[in-house]
Amino acid sequence: MTKLTGGQAAVEALKAEKVGHVFGLIGSATMEMFDALYDASEINLIGVHDERTGTHMADGYARMSGQAGVVLAGQNGPGATNLVTGLGQAKAAYSPVVSIAGSLASSHVYRDAFQEVDQQALFTPITKKTWTATSADRVPEMVREAFRVAMTPRRGPVQLNLPRDVLSAQAEFDTFQTPETYRSQSVPAAPAEAIAEAAKMLAGASRPVIIAGGGIKNTGGHAQTLALAEALNAPIVTSPGHGDAIPFGHPLNAGQMGPRGNIVASRLVREADVILALGTRVGFNATFYSYDNINRDAAIIHVELEPTAIGRYFPVALGIWADAPTAATQLTEAIGRIKDRASADKWTAAYKAERQAFLAKRDADAQVDAMPIHPSGLFKTLRDVLPKDAAVTMDAGTLCLQATDALNYWTPKSLFTPLDFGLVGFSFACGLGVKLAAPDRPVISLMGDGGFGMTVSELSTAVDHGINTVTVVMNNGCWGAEKAYQRDFFGGRYIGADISSPPFDKLAELYGAKGYRADTLKGMAEAIEAALTCGKPVVIDVAVDPAALYSFRRDSFKHRGG
């Protein structure tokens, strides 16, 4: 038995979980934990400048690594409230973020004490679970519970509040449990009868399509999905924000579907007779919950690990509760045993021709000579110069809406977006977490000037810890999505839409990073190539045409909440 403070026990519990990085902002409320981290050589503390961006780093780390990302808010009250946006984002992305914050000493609760806020009530709606440790001897149990809940499908963020007196109190501790002793190591397969029925439906389809979502991307299930698609000779579309679920170069990959996806993938889902929804909710960004974006007459086979998601937005012909890659393998085997099969060859051949024509037109239509830089030319240049193993992070906003299906994602996982939370100010910080999870891969973070201005202080974090990402600031001098709304729905009555910023390339240099300014596509291509080899965090300030905004007119006004 060893006597430890609650703070020391919390760090020992993190070590038992094999945590390699903690993103944190120091504060007095959790000083016992920070002091214990001083001696924890196994854990790299990434000192951040804002708890919000620290949470985005933990989110990016979690998504890329497949393990929980840990953020530590040193202060109760304002330090804790700064976590809210990041945890709301992580919940929307089903990202396993373990958030730990100090909280008020137990004897001061309900006394309007210094920096008092009801953290239990604050975090409960935006996490899978929020709770407060009650004694030092239970801290390891609470940390285990945090990781258990965060990592259990569907994954998501949790909040653990540690009162000051619990962190400073001492207790006797024995061994600290490791994950394999208390967490499930298996996932459910589909029932044989459900697989047989689904295989019969798919084999009998003349216009089949597979929708691959987060349940494929986050589990690395692209190989199983491709094997199934090849057995069916059926095209695959990906749900929005998961365009990297399937490698770009595969001929059956149609790209991202939906009202904001590309025209080829979107048409496939509107015309398919059998749809296999594989690890996707078929939710807002994929469909706007409307049959305008999915065939009303299609038979939907919905495979999901979260049973409450099955058939939630569209009635299904068959719902299957199972791990999506496992079910894909089962279906491939079952389809191979079926002799009498309809032919999807004509459907798929037509799709392939249309897909190739779309990609060729995308390049041909790119405005590569426009001045100032047009987004279509910018994206073509990025397609040409980014390495195939690059990971790309994005914000919300008009330019990133255009970028999501305009880039090529060759290597799963390689696309990280705010998804349904639609958050501006996410990309740069997320990219830092992604880079720490995959240090050998190039990480490119796309942002507008507004979003980067929100989070630019984390350049210090990148420089201090040698996190060498490349941030491309698509600078159009405005809040682009909002300005597009004002143009499309409010008669161009612009208010609050235009913003000013310092030269971000020069600002980067002041932080100790490398900065480049690009006013031409040639200059941007040269800057990207230099950035990837300079050995520093890089900011490229790119002047983009402020008039080239995303058009919302094709999206019904009633759906503008997304």
Q: Tokens for 533, please give them.
A: 């080899």
Given a cut of 90, is residue 548 above it in pLDDT?
no
Task: Report the percentage of the chain scoring pLDDT > 70.
Answer: 98
Within 13 Å, how many C-alpha atoms sit on residue 291's CB side? 7
Identify the H or E element spanning 302.
strand 299-304
Q: How many Å apart are CA 483 and CA 10, to the nearest integer?
A: 47
Kindly indicate the confidence band of residue 473, based on its pLDDT and cuts at 50, 70 and 90. very high
Q: Determine the pLDDT at residue 549.
A: 81
Give the distance, in angstroms, between the CA of residue 478 and the centroid of all CA atoms in the same chain. 24
Given a cut of 50, is residue 94 above it in pLDDT?
yes
Kindly indicate the confidence band of residue 558, based on its pLDDT and cuts at 50, 70 and 90. very low
Kindly indicate the confidence band of residue 338, based on its pLDDT and cuts at 50, 70 and 90. very high
Are the CB atoms for 364 and 355 separated by under 8 Å? no
pLDDT, average across residues 48-71: 98
The verdict on whether omega for the bond into residue 200 sits within 30 degrees of 0, i.e. cis, is no
Q: How many Å apart are CA 484 and CA 397, to the nearest integer?
A: 10
Given a cut of 80, is residue 507 above it in pLDDT?
yes
Are the CB atoms for 237 and 254 separated by under 8 Å? yes
Q: What is the DSSP string of 95-139?
A: --EEEEEEE--GGGTTTT-TT---HHHHHGGGSSEEEE--SGGGH
Strands of the sheet with 318-321, listed across from one edge: 253-256, 236-238, 208-212, 274-278, 299-304, 318-321
Given a cut of 80, is residue 114 above it in pLDDT?
no
- Judged by DSSP in three states, 539 sits in strand
Query: What are the phi and psi torsion angles at 277 (to 5°)?
Result: -90, 105
Q: Determine the pLDDT at residue 105.
A: 74
Given a cut of 70, is residue 347 above it in pLDDT?
yes
Given a cut of 50, is residue 419 above it in pLDDT?
yes
Are the CB atoms for 69 and 46 separated by under 8 Å? no
List of residues 6+ apart from 57 with CB closer than 8 A: 23, 46, 48, 69, 71, 429, 430, 432, 433, 436
pLDDT, average across residues 47-60: 98
Q: Tokens for 165, please give them.
A: 């007196």
List of residues 6+ apart from 89 with CB closer than 8 A: 55, 56, 59, 95, 418, 421, 423, 426
Kindly indicate the confidence band of residue 553, based on its pLDDT and cuts at 50, 70 and 90. low
Q: Tokens for 22, please give them.
A: 């903690």
Q: Determine the pLDDT at residue 560.
A: 45
pLDDT, average across residues 337-346: 90
pLDDT digits (tens, 9 = 90+) for 291-301: 999 999 999 99
From residue 433, alpha-carbon distances to 10, 413, 474, 496 in Å are 22, 14, 21, 32
Identify the H or E element spanning 254.
strand 253-256
Average pLDDT in the chain: 94
Q: How many Å apart are CA 174 and CA 112, to the nearest integer?
A: 37
Kindly indicate the confidence band of residue 399, based on its pLDDT and cuts at 50, 70 and 90. confident
From residue 180, alpha-carbon distances to 17, 157, 177, 186, 325 in Å are 9, 20, 8, 11, 22
From residue 515, alpha-carbon distances to 341, 458, 534, 536, 542 in Å are 58, 15, 11, 10, 11
pLDDT, average across residues 308-333: 97
Q: How many Å apart are CA 50 and CA 119, to the nearest integer?
A: 18
Answer yes or no: pTM beyond 0.85: yes
Q: Determine the pLDDT at residue 342.
A: 87
Are the CB atoms for 99 and 55 separated by under 8 Å? yes
pLDDT, average across residues 391-413: 89
Q: Determine the pLDDT at residue 38.
A: 97
Tokens 């491309």 belong to residue: 472
pLDDT digits (tens, 9 = 90+) for 258-307: 988 999 999 999 999 999 999 999 999 899 999 999 999 999 999 999 99
pLDDT digits (tens, 9 = 90+) for 426-455: 999 999 999 999 999 999 999 999 999 999
The verdict on whether omega for the bond into residue 372 sits within 30 degrees of 0, i.e. cis, is yes
Q: Tokens for 243, please give them.
A: 């365009």
Q: How many Å apart are CA 167 and CA 165, to the nearest integer?
A: 5
Task: Report the percentage of the chain scoring pLDDT > 90.
Answer: 88
Given a cut of 60, is residue 552 above it in pLDDT?
yes
Per residue, what are the HEC states of 429-487? HHHHHHHHHCCCCCEEEEEEHHHHHHHHHHHHHHHHHCCCCEEEEEECCECHHHHHHHH
- Judged by DSSP in three states, 415 sits in strand
pLDDT digits (tens, 9 = 90+) for 210-221: 999 999 999 999
Q: Tokens for 212, please give them.
A: 């691959």
Q: How many Å apart are CA 385 and CA 421, to the nearest integer?
A: 30
Kindly indicate the confidence band of residue 93, based on its pLDDT and cuts at 50, 70 and 90. very high
Q: Determine the pLDDT at residue 294.
A: 97
